[in-house]
Amino acid sequence: MSDPISHGVWNPDRTPEDFAGRYHDLVLEQYKLYVEMADRISARRSLTNSFFLTLNTSAFTVIGLVLQLRPGRGVWTLIFPTVALVVQCGAWYFLLRSYRQLNAAKYRVVGELEERLPASPYWRAEWAALGHGRDRTLYTPITHLEQWVPVVFAITYVVTYVVAVLL
């Protein structure tokens, strides 16, 4: 663990003796709570993805219908929705990035809490078994892959609009 995190996790004014033999129980309880909070961030990220996937799939369907039912005339009416959809894809991308950064920080804190527990299943064992996320043959973080989805949607919207205008 790096020193800034360690200094941020542990209260310098408190020692294990201050907790009358309950120190390890309290660390374990805080650990459980913090792991649960990290898991909730992942669940929120999943809900965010579901929302945006539904929105974009529906929007793409509507765009296809407009282009099919009103070829030529419908193209110019799609400029504002296309721009709005590309902007929301940007928002989706940055939300996913924010969730990734938040979870990365939370799991670094989880690792620091594990330093005071008898075992370190996440920080030392699991993360080491996965090559600390650096060896793509062992593990490719899903958060890196899922950020490509809004980019692909945005590119698809722009290309579809350009093709519709040119045809």
CA distances from 155 to 36, 85, 142, 166 (A): 36, 11, 21, 16
Nearest alpha carbon to residue 78 among 86, 32, 35, 19: 86
Cα 153 from Cα 158, distance rounded (Å): 9
Q: Within a 10 A sphere around the Cβ of 67, how many other Cβ atoms?
A: 19
**Structural domain count, the chain:** 1
The 10s digit of each residue's pLDDT in 88-128 is 999 999 999 999 999 989 988 998 898 888 888 888 888 88
Amino acid occupying residue 42? S
Q: What is the mean pLDDT of the chain?
A: 86
pTM, whole model, 2 decimals? Answer: 0.82
Those residues with Cβ within 8 angstroms of residue 69's Cβ, 6 or more apart along the chain or in another chain? none
- Domain of residue 77: give its range: 3-9+17-166
